[in-house]
Amino acid sequence: LAKTTQPISMDSYEGQEVNITCSHNNIATNDYITWYQQFPSQGPRFIIQGYKTKVTNEVASLFIPADRKSSTLSLPRVSLSDTAVYYCLVGDYGGSQGNLIFGKGTKLSVKP
Amino acid sequence: NAGVTQTPKFQVLKTGQSMTLQCAQDMNHNSMYWYRQDPGMGLRLIYYSASEGTTDKGEVPNGYNVSRLNKREFSLRLESAAPSQTSVYFCASGAYDGTTNEKLFFGSGTQLSVL
């Protein structure tokens, strides 16, 4: 299973762009990278998923370099409501089943 | 569309008591999961079910049993609750389109305290 490493916490201010990097040095060829967001007292929520290069949706962008040993979740112009824990997961595309392992995530605090 | 529904939302048990946490999804997903979350520990996988009729152990299965009752329902049972099982329990179901990795949809959680 590909292990991921993320910063424990990050601070930002409203209106700034936030980039959270995840390291996954032993990522396998078939692995995809998925990010989840969790607010206090709620279950995690899917944000974005990608395999290589760049993926963008209405919430965030995901940048994956050619070697795929890391990935960066980019949140444009954060607001107070983006304060949450963000998890990076790596798993294979064949239906991950038991290898969807969550680490401790990155606790993002957005200040006014 | 309710998504993933967990019951109960809160529960207090005494050591040695048993209980079953219920989970149901209405998205026709094949796979379902049970996680526990302790303060500062992230989520840890207890059991999962890749499809109806199959279950497998995750990272921390000791002290738990599961039943995949049908495609919609996946229950988690504590036979003899211990204080170490005090945690927030999340159920999830997985959407897999055959080309990318699964996307998990989580319930709102069950906060369990074992005294």
Could you tell me the pLDDT band of residue A81, with boundaries at 50, 70 and 90?
very high
Nearest CA in chain A to B49: A97
Cα(A104)–Cα(A95) distance, integer angstroms: 22
Residues in A touching B103 (Cβ below 8 Å): 34, 46, 49
**pLDDT for B41:** 79
Across the A/B interface, how many CB contacts are shorter than 8 Å? 75
**pLDDT for B39:** 83
Residues in A touching B99 (Cβ below 8 Å): 93
DSSP chain B: ---EEEE-SEEEE-TT--EEEEEEE-S--SEEEEEEE-TTS-EEEEEEESSTT--EE-S--TTEEEEE-SSSBEEEEESS--GGG-EEEEEEEEE--SSS--EEEE---EEEEE-
Number of helices and strands in chain A (H, E): 0, 9
- Give B24-65 pLDDT, tens digit per residue: 999 999 899 999 999 877 889 999 998 898 999 988 999 999
- Give A4-50 pLDDT, tens digit per residue: 999 999 999 999 999 999 999 988 888 889 999 999 889 999 999 99
Distance from CA of A56 to the nearest CA of B (A): 15
**pLDDT for A16:** 97
Distance from CA of B22 to the nearest CA of A (A): 15
Is the per-residue pLDDT at B77 higher than 80? yes
- Is some CB atom of chain A closer than 8 A to the CB atom of B60? no
Q: For chain B, what is the mean pLDDT?
A: 92
| 3-class secondary structure, A85 | strand
Residues in B touching A28 (Cβ below 8 Å): none
- Is some CB atom of chain A closer than 8 A to the CB atom of B74? no
Decide which of A93 and B20 is more confident.
B20
**Could you tell me which of B71, B41, B75, B73 has the C-alpha nearest to residue B59?**
B41
Can you list the positions of beta strands (E) in chain A? 9-13, 18-23, 31-38, 45-50, 53-56, 61-64, 70-75, 84-92, 106-111
As a whole number, mean pLDDT of residues A90-96 equals 64
Cis peptide before A112 (omega within 30 of 0): no
Residue B69 zone, left/alpha/beta (φ > 0; ψ -120 to 50; rest): alpha
**Could you tell me which of B6, B60, B66, B68 has the C-alpha nearest to residue B36?**
B60
Residues in A touching B40 (Cβ below 8 Å): 104
As a whole number, mean pLDDT of residues A54-77 equals 96
